[in-house]
Structure 1
């Protein structure tokens, strides 16, 4: 038995600060499920003499002989407390919806509390528990075990010392699988509420909650006030109420963005991780293994760290005043995420066409098609499934739908949801053939800053309006810089050939969208003004045409240089201006009057350039046509990724003085057929006669 110090202060410390005179008496509430781990951990620590398990409470106690004869067994915590057991610490490993009432009862009885995650099923309950703990003067540790890892301060040091450069963003990813049996283990599993009581079970709030809280911790978000906003995009493939496949995006008060891309419907389970993306590298922390992988230009290094047990930390805090590693108040940021999920619309069921069930009986589990790649893409782009236009996700509402013959052929997005380092800007995606085949891609994993169809330039007076890394002459390579601009719409008008009263419709029946856009630098100062016009119409039963006209002019009283990697010294890298990013294409054929294939066409000048192949099994041809006097070289990529553009500044910048402007125009024919050169000649001839 310990004795009081001869140098003790005459002022009595609070109960949570006072060194106990006996070995702490522990009560465990809930001994099944995760409670079994707590039972084993308590037994380990009891063997070292640092605690004494005096009681457990569970309607279904362990089998005979599993507990020592000195451990009292009760059906409920109320029974345990009423019996005068007087535990010093109560561990709660019970259903989510019971955490707060049980914790409040334990605090009122004078005990410190270790409560499993999540600590509460709503923000209001969390605040009740905070108040109860403060009133009782007791400690509450939350069971986010990953917060005990010595790897977390190591990641913080890497960020602070600039080893990976300025932080671009963070992601938390987890691809797990859970069977039918997992959701049949209890009445509350897979529920958002039960008998009118909040539960908020789900991939982010329970199964992979550690991914979320670890990401928040690394992002510097601990308390409730550390979170500025939370976006949710929730789905499920299991027949449950709760989400099992979701993206949650958190913006911290400190300006960082954490994208949590998580699923319980993967083909195989992998180690979850939190990644910090920096301008000079990245740091990926596999929190279940306490392993850190740092990748920079100098190579890769790995380190494995130790972990402090949270119960031991709680006992240390009781005896020595050590700081809790996972204090209740430090779960405030996580509770902001849980509250956003709780109040969000109910998760959407993933269409069965995109799900395959594997296994049988209780071992059966759903696999969402391509989910591992989608999780990776969402993390890289810091985008939701809706923003990625995943076919089973909720459609992202565009500013305008382009329709031809009553069919939606393109969706205009204003770009406001794009991450800052991808240079947010308006674009078209998805663009479809008349038969519905998608012929654009956006935010692909290889270049998440590629955005469907639009206008982008990598160097406008040193500002990157293309996204991603910047090629500089000084570096002689691509480097990350905080130089990304934003293009915002300031006004627009539309005219539809299919409207009952199409004011502004031209005599040929074109539909149109006219926009005024402002190109702003990272400081928010306008650099360029743009007038952009889209027009679209049917050509024949299998083909429609899209025309883009845009005019760029300086926004202020100083000259503006329009450049590219090519004009900054990168050979054959003169992309910038109009750009069309295609999706994966089988059997791609690219040709023009100048030749065929990427090598022959890249950097060539011709009246038209065609791309044909099969997209997701369906044939299509795109014909890019330029005005007869256009001398801009074609930018063509086939092998590395599929894309076509016209280069505004191939190897020399275009300098615009105040009052000057540059104008470009391109028309694209979108066909459901695999066209030949003769077909293309006929289509272009018909367009010329029409004009």
Structure 2
């Protein structure tokens, strides 16, 4: 039933964001939809701001004492005050418009939700992005539950990206700004809970997470470069009860400010929502059966206060951002609130711009890290950000060069436990580097987030994908997203310092691994041996990585080991040993018989060499950082020589992305049988500088004859 007169509104908080509310209130008053009965603030901004006829009180109790009974109370005050003011507003019998985030703790949220339910009150939370009509379009481009195919397919994951800028003055503007707790009161003013809270809530909304129990497997990493208590550079990774991965990577320490965006990943494409301007860019996969071209559209937005007024008046059916739909966000906020204090990003990882109140910190490469985290459902630590916590590692591989008493770390042994399920979690060698510190591997790059340093991976083991990403199937004749990803975990691991290793000043690692399919069944066991030793040649500054593995059935029957090539994709026989290189310049790829990417790809040769300039690797998060003195700057020229006596063709990529592999199943599956495992060995020379071809050939000859 329509109201007889416009809704009477009291605004609590006339300054700060409250001034935006006053602008909106003036519009709604002009439309005849509401009346501003009073304002509440200790600091009256004056009649030119709040209106000449608007009385101002110091508290809601004073409003009540004046005999004013509002229909709606708007609370636009610091986070720490939301709970108590919300409860007091409900005592009026009023509906409530509550600025985001709803409360400062999950307990307060549940208390307020219970009170609102008991009072039968409507509570709208001011996540204005949820009023965007672009959200309806996202539902259209995703495949609906009826089985029909949307342009970008079925929802896989959602990412929230925020690269904002905040100055010292921003945090000096109020005592609570940048605080977690103030005078014993919870404040929780972090990047994910205040300035970029809309990004988090919009991502959760698209992923279908509303209630607090819609969130599972939640983890946060909190950092700050500002001299504040709260976080300003944060990654959040969670999975919804419906199995959708949500990753939020946010900072206010970017090089320059950009509109934040939400990326919606489907099985047949993706969409990007720039929620501050309600712009949606839809990009279907070009090889999808439905085909179709991309689109860019701008949508309108429903004002949330107006929506609340319309629901009261019967002109709208439901609230767009009700309190009960923000429980998932509150789970995130609670995780941020209860996490260990944010880690200070050390000065060597921060640059500064501006002076005085305009001074602001910049975290180098943060934009690249955010892009990688969102696309790979990853975290800053997993990506190897030098200022983040160490990722899940089991140790470091090191060699002691001739004439040196100290070992030189040359690779990190990653467990892979922190890699997302869709990227084929597996142990791998990370940050493999030359003796002078040139990093010659990459992991979770933007072009293929499932490429992990140096690893063993296969895309088809009895129908399970242990490579990551989309799966090439013969039936589809293309790559498709399937819930078929397995994982490889370490059962046991030991570092051997035997006589042979010691005599060569090196180190040997032995590990037993288990390959578990998507259904939890063990398919393979792997015995792996990795050793590192200096190159026994005074004319070359380098070391040798000796990598061997054997794959045996976990059960009592043969197991087929396949690839896209064995499933019908010409030239796509990758799988087995694979080395992902970072971005390179002036690369030269050659064997004893051929030279160039196209000529070498698919050939069988005793060795393949790659020499390149790694100094151009500006986009890599680790490039140019001096955080690890033992590794230098991570840049420079280097030469890699891969040597193998196995009959596997070399898989070579450079133009599209740089990587080298020894293909276990080039165009036919390999079969491992009980008592007859598949064994492979690749020895790699990791050399500083551009080593001449004749020197490479001499080194290979020396290596093979050793």
- Give the TM-score normalised by the residue count of structure 1: 0.91
Q: CA deviation at 1:215?
A: 0.7
Q: CA deviation at 1:660?
A: 2.8
Partner SS, residue 217 of structure 1: helix
Counterpart position of 1:96: 79
Residue 672 (structure 1) aligned with residue 672 (structure 2):
no
C-alpha contact (below 8 Å) 1:554/1:660 kept by paired residues: no
C-alpha contact (below 8 Å) 1:594/1:604 kept by paired residues: no
Residue 626 (structure 1) aligned with residue 622 (structure 2):
no
| 1:384 alignment partner, one of 358, 372, 379 | 379
Counterpart position of 1:246: 234
C-alpha contact (below 8 Å) 1:59/1:74 kept by paired residues: yes
Measure, in 2, the Cα distance between the counterparts of 1:53 and 1:507.
85
Matches within 5 A, 1:55-454: 55-161=38-144, 162-163=149-150, 164-296=152-284, 297-320=291-314, 322-405=317-400, 406-454=407-455
What are the superposed Cα offsets for residues 194-252 of structure 1, whole Å, 9 maximum, x if unpaired? 12221111221111111110110111111111111311122222222222222111211
Measure, in 1, the Cα distance between the counterparts of 2:399 and 2:691.
20
Measure, in 2, the Cα distance between the counterparts of 1:274 and 1:688.
52
Partner SS, residue 494 of structure 2: strand
| Structure 1 unmatched ranges of 5 or more | 6-18
Q: CA deviation at 1:465?
A: 1.8
C-alpha contact (below 8 Å) 2:494/2:510 kept by paired residues: yes
Residue 35 (structure 1) aligned with residue 33 (structure 2):
no
What are the superposed Cα offsets for residues 133-181 of structure 1, whole Å, 9 maximum, x if unpaired? 2343322211111122233233234334241223221111122222232
Question: How many equivalent pairs are there?
Answer: 666
C-alpha contact (below 8 Å) 1:544/1:671 kept by paired residues: yes
| 2:36 alignment partner, one of 53, 56, 59 | 53
Counterpart position of 1:14: none
The change in CA–CA distance for 1:633 and 1:139 in structure 2 (over 3 A counts) is same
Deviates more, 1:198-207 or 1:129-138: 129-138
Q: CA deviation at 1:510?
A: 4.5
C-alpha contact (below 8 Å) 2:575/2:662 kept by paired residues: yes
The change in CA–CA distance for 1:466 and 1:67 in structure 2 (over 3 A counts) is closer
The change in CA–CA distance for 1:134 and 1:483 in structure 2 (over 3 A counts) is closer
Counterpart position of 1:463: 464
Measure, in 2, the Cα distance between the counterparts of 1:493 and 1:368.
37
What are the superposed Cα offsets for residues 645-676 of structure 1, whole Å, 9 maximum, x if unpaired? 11112223223344432111111122234323
Deviates more, 1:178-187 or 1:336-345: 178-187
Deviates more, 1:110-119 or 1:482-491: 482-491
- CA RMSD in angstroms comes to 2.4
Partner SS, residue 203 of structure 1: coil
Measure, in 1, the Cα distance between the counterparts of 2:40 and 2:92.
15
| 1:661 alignment partner, one of 658, 665, 677 | 677
Measure, in 1, the Cα distance between the counterparts of 2:90 and 2:241.
32
C-alpha contact (below 8 Å) 1:54/1:70 kept by paired residues: no
Counterpart position of 1:580: 579
Measure, in 2, the Cα distance between the counterparts of 1:300 and 1:119.
37
Counterpart position of 1:562: 561
C-alpha contact (below 8 Å) 1:545/1:667 kept by paired residues: yes
What are the superposed Cα offsets for residues 471-499 of structure 1, whole Å, 9 maximum, x if unpaired? 334444333333322222233333246xx
Deviates more, 1:586-595 or 1:527-536: 586-595
Counterpart position of 1:10: none
The change in CA–CA distance for 1:547 and 1:505 in structure 2 (over 3 A counts) is closer
What are the superposed Cα offsets for residues 433-489 of structure 1, whole Å, 9 maximum, x if unpaired? 223322110010011110100111222233322222223344443333333222222
Measure, in 2, the Cα distance between the counterparts of 1:22 and 1:598.
76
| Structure 2 unmatched ranges of 5 or more | 285-290, 401-406, 616-634
The change in CA–CA distance for 1:301 and 1:614 in structure 2 (over 3 A counts) is closer
Q: CA deviation at 1:588?
A: 2.3
C-alpha contact (below 8 Å) 1:168/1:421 kept by paired residues: no
Measure, in 1, the Cα distance between the counterparts of 2:193 and 2:358.
23
Partner SS, residue 568 of structure 1: coil
Q: CA deviation at 1:36?
A: 0.8
Partner SS, residue 610 of structure 1: strand
Measure, in 2, the Cα distance between the counterparts of 1:675 and 1:81.
83
Counterpart position of 1:12: none
Measure, in 1, the Cα distance between the counterparts of 2:471 and 2:153.
15
C-alpha contact (below 8 Å) 1:285/1:293 kept by paired residues: yes
Q: CA deviation at 1:682?
A: 5.0
C-alpha contact (below 8 Å) 2:391/2:418 kept by paired residues: no
What are the superposed Cα offsets for residues 390-413 of structure 1, whole Å, 9 maximum, x if unpaired? 223222130222222333221122
